[in-house]
Amino acid sequence: MSNFFKYTVFSVIGISIINIVSTLMEVSLINNSLNGRHSEVLFSSLANANDERVLTISILYMAIILVSYFVVARWFFIISKFNHSKNIEGLKFSPGSSVWWFFVPIASLFMPYKAIKESYQASFNENNWKSISIPSFFKIWWASFILGNIAGQIVSRMPDNSLGLVQASNYINIISDILVVISAYCLFKIFNVINQNQSDNFNI
């Protein structure tokens, strides 16, 4: 599970960076067209090649993101189940609820964060675990995750009936991918610290 989780997170970061580069290439193509640097025939040819590249990357991107959702959800379940198996008192989130809160409207904006916060604090195996402070990268992870998803939703709903709108969509898409990279990196740090805590504090 450990290595597969890491490979999945690195794949998300990698495909997001590739998507950023691809989007920047499209931005450059459109800018050149708007500034009259490409003839209509040349632009049409380059646009077709661009669309093929974007489609290929989009399919790969979606596949990796879908796999990452499953892997991350499974990890949420496993670390919560581990804490419960150690009979830690005061746990509010069951292994199942640590996952299905992601799918509850409105509550999905804050409950998954509370679930991972609880798993982190409980991983110290201390009587006063609820008072343990949370590292800043937990908040950065959740904020970038939420904002990245919002930006992605905006892009998916934007019309593309003009080059200007496509360009605006591209810029938002770049912001979304940057947020995904930040979120994935912070989640990787969260994964490491919780796993290390459970290993050290429960002698496994």
Torsion (CA) 130, 131, 132, 133 in degrees, nearest 10: 120
Query: pLDDT-derived band of residue 184, with 50, 70 and 90 as boundaries?
Result: very high
- CA dist 132 and 137 (Å) reads 15
**Once rounded to an integer, what is the mean pLDDT over residues 141-160?**
92
Residue 183 pLDDT greater than 70, yes or no: yes
Tell me how far apart the alpha carbons of residues 189 and 186 are, in angstroms, rounded to a whole number.
Answer: 5
Q: Output the pLDDT for position 139.
A: 96
Distance CA 95, CA 34 (A): 53
Residue 126 pLDDT exceeds 90:
no
Residue 99's pLDDT is 94
Output b/e per residue, 112-121; b: 16+ Cβ within 10 A.
bbebbbbbbb
Q: Which amino acid is at 78?
A: I
Q: Which domain holds residue 70?
A: 2-201
How far is it, in rounded angstroms, from Cα 108 to Cα 193? 23
Which is more confident, 147 or 3? Answer: 147
pLDDT value, residue 58: 94
pTM: 0.90
Instruction: State residue 42's pLDDT score.
Output: 80
Q: What is the mean pLDDT of the segment spanning 95-99? A: 94
Confidence of residue 1 (pLDDT cuts 50, 70, 90): low
In the predicted model, is pLDDT for residue 2 greater than 90? Answer: no
What average pLDDT does the chain have? Answer: 91
- For residue 97, name the pLDDT band (cuts at 50, 70, 90): very high
More confident: 42 or 190: 190
Mean pLDDT value across residues 95-120? 94
**Considering its fold, how many domains does the chain have in total?**
1
Query: Looking at residue 204, what is its pLDDT?
Result: 58
Instruction: Give the confidence band of 72 by pLDDT, cuts at 50, 70, 90.
Output: very high
Whether 40 shows a pLDDT value over 80: the answer reads no
